[in-house]
Homo-oligomer: A and B are copies of this chain.
């Protein structure tokens, strides 16, 4: 009888570890350092040791553990191999096989953004839904696509790479991906600053944003305070993101968009700007899609990882 599982979220600095019961309750949560030196050769053994240590500490039987789910910052193929993960200093790592051999447990591996989407569906902003789009607005724009409760990995591990949906031919700056006009350039925290600086330079209109640092936070604080220029910036942000979400809906017709990442701390005010343009651009049958805030924060990864093995 399986009673427990592990959810592991490997990041470039720390590995987040969760010990769960099969109902999805976190029984224990801790972090270990990600040792990236020597091409990250220690990372998998460190994770295995953390799992075996926890099993010993809790005095549970191996047979009671359903398995280990792992999220990694990089593409993952169908066999649980990681072709490359820059932030971990990894070249090809057969992660599922290695970790399974070291722990004696079944292992499932997924890309961290996709795994976080699964976590939000299971225990966060997407609870009650099985067709979910996770939109993570951080330094960049990440995404995860869940259809019928399953992660859409994509043929090249690029399923849910919605930050690189093309949204504007007029943008002359180059995105980190090499293209121009990507969603990430105008809807991430960095993108909002880009929009703000352009807007500030284009007029002499008064704005609290002219005093002090411009960030996604100061922009949305100003929006809430009624600053007209900040609201124009939010309109632009909302138009780009609403447009992208509408086009995503034209492909997979989700029940809910869950918005996470640092920018989502601005709260429900975001929806005032996104849904207006979503409604404008979306195919009529898809206009009933919900928009919700992510709830699990940095824990989405361990939840989603755990869910993969249940």
Contacts and interface: CB of A to CB of B under 8 A. Distances in A.
A53 to B, nearest CB: 36
Interface size class of A (residues with CB under 8 A): 35 or more
Nearest to A246: B166
Contacts of A251: 145, 152, 159-160, 162, 165, 247-248, 251-252
A255 interface: yes
Q: Which of A159, A165, A247 has the most CB of B within 10 A?
A: A247
A286 B253 contact: no
Counting chain B CB atoms within 10 Å of each CB, the highest count among A153, A156, A157, A286 belongs to: A156
Contact of A156 (B148, B152, B159, B285): B285
A164 B250 contact: yes
A76 to B, nearest CB: 12
A207 to B, nearest CB: 26
Interface string A212-241: 000000000000000000000000000000
A263 to B, nearest CB: 19
A154 B131 contact: yes
Interface string A253-265: 1110000000000
A187 interface: no
A82 B67 CA distance: 40
Interface of A: 75, 131, 145, 147-148, 150, 152-162, 164-166, 177-179, 243-244, 246-255, 280-281, 283-286, 288-289
